[in-house]
């Protein structure tokens, strides 16, 4: 099917004409038609799917410029020198790449399975039936069935519309929802006024609709904008820190290797041998494993978090999740049970009222907006026969009016029934019900109504108001008709606190995470709940007070406030931004349409599996249960993941760096190379094994007791302290081998090879904990890998394959001396560690 020019202005077409141009129908497409259109239009994505193939991931292990140079040098060596050595070098590099590939491929597959658990779908008509499909499977001609909270997956034309309001802020910048309806428009109608069209990237606030998809992917309006601007999500603190660390080590490596190569050439050593030595040295220095280690750590952390019912959508968000020191949350479903229970219906005098119950049931039963617990509770707990009532119109709820109105016909007359926040209902009432059929001016009883409201709220009960108005024979209404109404009474609801929420809040405080409640409920309900759950030293800021505070003043104020009550949805984002500017790492839990801006603004946007699509899409992390206890476990695991990542960074800047730096220096005054290129690569390969298991390591309690931040200056200090300690014992080893034991070059290299690998492996056990290494139990895979590498290293020179690497057996007394040096090194590293952590806070 070829798109015609007519579809470029599809909003000017009638639904039937548009369907005809798209060769579609109101029943949707068949599977065969969809397959054909996927081939024409591709998947519904703004960018190509970044799923790396196994082969591509394998090639990625060897794309480093230094590795490529090593391949070239080894190839040159095959041609002009020793082919056996070159083949050994290439074999070690290939084995290292395969090791990284094996770990990273498993990590990638695990993450994809986790993301599939919280995949956003849309209802589409295929083969005559409604099915739920991922957004990227939508094609032109599909018929969408849309409801409140749905993300609009593609540019579409309305076929049917009922009380439809759409948030189009992502395209037009307009913060208020736009009402959509079928309409005849001209081709030159501007985007903001195309009320018969829906646009990719926007979302439905309320109402229902059916629409035919016209444009997908890059062909959409949103796709056009993103293509022009090349929009990319900003890097978070963790990603920036990793990049800075990688560049930092790379710069040092290039300077060091270039210097060593030049000096070796000046010392009249063979150029090719010096070049291979320098390149092999650089492999040991560069953080080539860093991407794989980080990927493995984060994916392992994501799997562990999934076991705790926390799904990570963006892996790099784990770091911010662990660093989070403020969590903002609504009370409903997080602090409370989340299952709103209908309590009672009261008239303006506080008496039980059947009339109030009936009108509430009519309003809730005929409401067609987004699903909410209030209406569900009314429909569940009240039962009336509505066979004589017919709905004729609806004014959907919105977050500005905070009212929902239903027009019904009954006994040849129309009644407008409005339900909503009590103050917003009283604003449109002129009278109040007094007795069965009489009414009195609202101002004569308003103080009494307010007193009831405050008394009930102080008990932790949630209050709504309900009103009605006789509309005569009207069959249509608008927002302007919400005036001069009769106040019928109060609807009372109860949402009890969760049983263990007090203990959970205490645990969060112990983890250094403070809870701030942001709720639209009134101050009395908020205070009552917080006293029930044991929230200490409560300071409340009300919506009206917030509106009078400047943004600058709010930054200094938010730290002391732990309850924000009567807050408008558009003010949540303002609170989040103020907390961030005050120096906090802020998380926000939200599951509703009105939470989207706050989720985007937070350092960690957290939603739940049952949230509306647009909230899940905005979140970095999705909880499979809306429970703070689930969040606590996620925070712990996030900190474990970050701590293990930091361990590798410290390892890469201590023993390995110190050993390679020492080797480079020794090559300047020794009459021979301290290690051959193939021996350097073998050393690097063997030390990779324990580091590859770091993701499974145990983490000390102190590392997860408080938020930790990525700090490149701390890493530099760590490298300086432990690099100097490592180099000191390296040079001690050189001196003992060269001037005390007076070994030949082969024995020197064998001794240095054993000492280097064993010390680098053991130092992992020292660096992984702040405590004495024998007091902190390492993870089983790390411990086993370390022991096996040490054993293999000691035995290797005694094996037949050692000849290929030019390693020779050493006398037992030599091994004993090397053992003493390693023991002294480990002991001094423990002293240095104690010294370092006393002066540097992480």
Count CA within 13 A, CB hemisphere, residue 785. 22
Taking CA atoms, 285 is separated from 272, 663, 695, in Å, by 20, 11, 21
Length of the chain: 842
| Catalytic position from the list 85, 330, 347, 613 | 330
433 has which bridge partners? 439
CA quadruple 690, 692, 693, 695: dihedral, nearest 10: 140
Nearest alpha carbon to residue 688 among 96, 2, 27 = 96
DSSP code of 779?
P
What is the DSSP secondary structure assignment for residue 350, as one 8-state letter?
S
C-alpha–C-alpha distance, residues 398 and 50, integer Å = 38
Say how far apart CA 748 and CA 202 lie, in whole Å: 68
Alpha-carbon radius of gyration of the chain: 34
Contact 804, 679 (CB under 8 A): no
Tokens for 401? Answer: 């009016």
Q: Phi and psi dihedrals of 383, rounded to 5?
A: -140, 120
Rounded Cα distance, 143 and 212, in Å: 5
CA atoms 599, 602, 603, 608: torsion sign: negative
- Cα-based angle 590, 594, 597 (whole degrees, multiple of 5): 80
Q: Measured between alpha carbons, how far is 276 from 82 in angstroms, rounded to an integer?
A: 12
In this structure, which long-range contacts are made by residues 246-251, counting pairs with CB atoms below 8 Å and at least 24 apart in sequence? Answer: 246/287, 246/290, 248/712, 248/715, 248/716, 249/285, 249/286, 249/287, 249/652, 249/653, 249/657, 250/286, 250/287
Cβ burial, residue 740 (10 Å; 0-12/13-18/19+): exposed
Of 626, 624, 606, 627, nearest to 615 (Cα)? 606
On whether the CB atoms of residues 316 and 297 are closer than 8 A, the answer is: no
Scan for tokens 């390591």, then name that residue. 697
Tell me how many degrees the CA angle 320-331-357 measures, rounded to the nearest 5.
150
Instruction: Look at strands 586-589 and 326-329 and give their pairing.
Output: parallel
- Tokens representing 405 are 């109105």
Q: How far apart are CA 582 and CA 591, in angstroms?
A: 25
Annotated active-site residue 145? The verdict is no
C-alpha distances (whole Å) from 240 to each of 64, 251, 620 are 20, 17, 18
What is the C-alpha separation between 799 and 185, in angstroms, rounded? 84
Cα–Cα dist 733/33, whole Å: 73
Q: By C-alpha distance, which of 461, 479, 395, 372 is closest to 422?
A: 461
Q: Exposed (0-12), middle (13-18) or buried (19+): which is 291, by Cβ within 10 Å? A: middle
Contact by Cβ (8 Å): 711, 248: no
Give the residue numbers marked as catalytic. 330
């Amino acid at each position: 099917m070829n798109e015609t020019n007519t579809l470029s202005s599809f909003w000017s077409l009638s639904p039937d004409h548009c369907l005809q141009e798209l060769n579609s129908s109101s029943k949707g497409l068949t599977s065969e038609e969809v397959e054909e259109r996927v081939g024409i239009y591709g998947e519904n994505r703004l960018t190509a799917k970044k799923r790396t193939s196994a082969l591509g991931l394998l090639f990625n292990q060897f794309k480093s410029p230094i590795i490529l140079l090593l391949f070239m040098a080894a190839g040159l060596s095959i041609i002009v020198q020793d082919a056996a050595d070159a083949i050994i070098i290439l074999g070690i590099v290939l084995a290292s790449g395969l090791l990284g590939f094996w770990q990273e491929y498993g990590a990638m597959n695990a993450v994809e399975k986790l993301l599939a658990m919280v995949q956003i779908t849309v209802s589409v008509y295929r083969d005559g039936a409604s099915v739920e499909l991922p957004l990227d499977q939508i094609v032109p001609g599909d018929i969408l069935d849309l409801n409140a909270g749905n993300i609009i997956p593609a540019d579409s034309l309305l076929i049917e519309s009922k009380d439809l309001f759409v948030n189009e802020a992502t395209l037009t910048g307009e913060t208020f929802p736009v009402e959509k309806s079928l309409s005849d428009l001209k081709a030159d109608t501007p985007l903001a006024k195309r009320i018969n069209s829906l646009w990719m990237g926007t979302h439905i606030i309320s109402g229902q609709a059916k629409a035919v998809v016209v444009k997908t992917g890059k062909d959409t309006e949103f796709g056009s904008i993103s293509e022009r601007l090349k929009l990319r999500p900003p890097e978070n603190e963790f990603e920036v820190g990793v990049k800075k660390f990688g560049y930092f080590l790379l710069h040092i490596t290039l300077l060091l290797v270039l210097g060593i190569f030049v000096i070796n050439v000046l010392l009249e050593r063979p150029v090719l041998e010096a070049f291979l030595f320098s390149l092999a040295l650089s492999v040991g220095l560069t953080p080539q494993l860093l991407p794989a280690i980080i990927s493995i750590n984060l994916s392992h952390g994501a799997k562990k978090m999934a076991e705790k019912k926390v799904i990570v959508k963006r892996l790099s968000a784990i770091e911010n999740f662990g660093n989070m020191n403020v969590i903002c949350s609504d009370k409903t479903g997080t602090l409370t049970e989340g299952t709103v229970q209908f309590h009672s219906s009261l008239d303006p005098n506080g008496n039980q009222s059947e009339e109030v119950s009936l009108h509430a049931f009519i309003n809730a039963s005929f409401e067609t907006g987004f699903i909410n617990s209030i209406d569900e509770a009314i429909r569940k707990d009240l039962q009336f026969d509505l066979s004589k009532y017919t709905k004729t119109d609806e004014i959907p709820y919105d977050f500005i009016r905070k009212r929902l109105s239903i027009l019904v016909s009954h006994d040849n007359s129309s009644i407008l029934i409005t339900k909503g926040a009590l103050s917003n209902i009283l604003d449109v009432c002129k009278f109040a019900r007094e007795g069965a059929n009489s009414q009195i001016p609202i101002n004569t009883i308003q103080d009494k109504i307010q007193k009831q409201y405050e008394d009930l709220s102080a008990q932790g009960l949630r209050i709504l108001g309900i009103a009605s108005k006789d509309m005569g024979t009207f069959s249509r209404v608008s927002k302007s008709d919400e005036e001069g109404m009769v106040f019928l009474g109060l609807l009372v609801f109860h949402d009890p606190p969760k049983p263990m929420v007090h203990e959970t809040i205490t645990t969060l405080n112990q983890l250094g995470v403070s809870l701030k409640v942001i709720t639209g409920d009134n101050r009395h309900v908020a205070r009552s709940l917080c006293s029930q759950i044991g929230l200490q030293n409560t300071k409340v800021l009300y919506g009206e007070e917030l509106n009078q505070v400047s943004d600058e003043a709010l930054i200094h104020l938010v730290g002391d406030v732990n309850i924000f009550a009567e807050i408008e949805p558009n003010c949540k984002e303002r609170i989040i931004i103020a907390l961030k500017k005050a120096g906090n790492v802020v998380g926000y839990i939200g599951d509703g349409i009105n939470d989207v801006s706050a989720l985007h603004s937070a350092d960690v946007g957290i939603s739940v599996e049952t949230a509306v699509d647009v909230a899940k899409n905005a979140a970095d992390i999705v909880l499979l249960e809306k429970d703070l206890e689930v969040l606590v476990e996620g925070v712990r695991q996030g900190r474990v993941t970050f701590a293990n990542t930091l361990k590798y960074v410290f390892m890469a800047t201590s023993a390995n760096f110190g050993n390679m730096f020492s080797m480079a220096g020794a090559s300047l005054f020794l009459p021979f190379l301290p290690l051959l290129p193939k021996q350097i690569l073998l050393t690097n390969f063997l030390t990779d094994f324990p580091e590859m298991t770091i993701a499974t390591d145990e983490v000390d309690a102190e590392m997860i007791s408080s938020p930790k931040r990525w700090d490149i200056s701390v890493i530099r200090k760590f490298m300086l302290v432990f690099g100097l300690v490592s180099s000191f014992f390296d040079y001690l080893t050189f001196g003992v081998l060269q001037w005390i034991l007076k070994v030949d070059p082969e024995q020197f290299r064998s001794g240095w090879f054993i000492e280097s690998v064993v010390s680098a492996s053991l130092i992992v056990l020292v660096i992984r904990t702040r405590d004495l290494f024998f007091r902190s139990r390492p993870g089983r895979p790390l411990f086993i890998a370390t022991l096996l590498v040490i054993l293999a290293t000691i035995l290797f020179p005694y094996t037949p394959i050692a000849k290929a690497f030019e390693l020779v057996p050493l006398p037992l007394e030599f091994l004993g001396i090397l053992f003493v040096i390693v023991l002294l090194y480990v002991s001094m590293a423990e002293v240095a560690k104690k010294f370092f952590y006393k002066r540097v806070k992480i």
